[in-house]
A and B are shown apart, each in its own frame.
Chain A
Amino acid sequence: MIRRPMIEVRKLAKHFGRFPVLRSLDLTIRKGEFVALFGRNGAGKTTFLRILAGLSRASSGTMSIQLPDEKRFRFARGAIGYLSHNTSLYTDLTALENLGFYSRLMDAPSDEASLIRKIELVGLAGREREPVRNYSRGMQQRLAIARAFLHDPEILLLDEPFTGLDQGGSEFLKWFLAQAHSEGKTCIVAIHDASLGYEMADRLVVIERGVVALDVPKTSLTLKEFEERYLAVTQTRMRSSVGPNAGNLL
Chain B
Amino acid sequence: MTHKYRSRLDTALEIILVPGMGLALYMAFIVAPREASMGDLQRIFYFHVAAAIAGMTAFAVNFAASLMYVIRKNRWWDHAALAAAEAGVVFMVMVLITGPIWAKPAWFIWWTWSPRLTSSLVLCLLYVAYLLIRNYIGDPDRKALVSAVFGIIAFVDAPLVWFSIRWWRDHHPGPMLETGGLDPSMRPALYICMAVFQVLMFYLLRRRFRLEGMRDQVESLYRQADLAS
Contacts and interface: CB of A to CB of B under 8 A. Distances in A.
A–B contact with Cβ pairs below 8 Å: the answer is yes
A15 B75 CA distance: 14
A20 B229 contact: no
Q: Is the interface of B mostly helix, strand, loop or mixed?
A: helix
Interface in A203-241: 240-241
B229 A59 contact: no
Interface of A: 15-18, 20, 23, 57, 59, 240-241, 243-245, 248
Contacts of A17: 138-140, 219
B28 to A, nearest CB: 46
A220 B141 CA distance: 41
Contact of B141 (A18, A59, A241, A248): A59
B9 to A, nearest CB: 30
Nearest to A57: B141
A46 to B, nearest CB: 15
B71 interface: no
B35 to A, nearest CB: 53
Can you list the 9 inter-chain pairs with the closest CB atoms, starting with the nearest?
A245-B229, A18-B222, A18-B219, A16-B139, A248-B226, A17-B140, A20-B223, A23-B227, A245-B226
A96 B47 CA distance: 67
Given A57-B141, A59-B141, A18 B229 contact: no
A179 B90 CA distance: 63
Contact of A15 (B223, B225, B229): B223
Given A57-B141, A244-B229, 4 more contacts: A16-B138, A23-B227, A59-B141, A245-B229
Interface string B210-229: 00000000010011011101
Contacts of A243: 229
Interface string B188-229: 000000000000000000000000000000010011011101
Contacts of A16: 138-139
A245 B225 CA distance: 9
Interface residues of B, number: 11
Nearest to A20: B223
A16 B138 CA distance: 8
24 contacts: A15-B223, A16-B138, A16-B139, A17-B138, A17-B139, A17-B140, A17-B219, A18-B219, A18-B222, A18-B223, A20-B223, A20-B226, A20-B227, A23-B227, A57-B141, A59-B141, A240-B229, A241-B229, A243-B229, A244-B229, A245-B225, A245-B226, A245-B229, A248-B226
Contacts of A20: 223, 226-227
Contacts of A241: 229
Interface string B64-81: 000000000000000000
Contacts of B141: 57, 59
Contacts of A23: 227
Contacts of A245: 225-226, 229
A72 to B, nearest CB: 25
B154 to A, nearest CB: 24
Contacts of B223: 15, 18, 20
Contacts of B139: 16-17
Contacts of A244: 229
Contacts of B227: 20, 23
A244 B222 CA distance: 13
A17 B144 CA distance: 12
Nearest to B229: A245
Contacts of A57: 141
B26 to A, nearest CB: 48
Contacts of B219: 17-18
A23 B138 CA distance: 19
Nearest to B222: A18
A244 B139 CA distance: 24
Contacts of A248: 226
Contacts of B222: 18
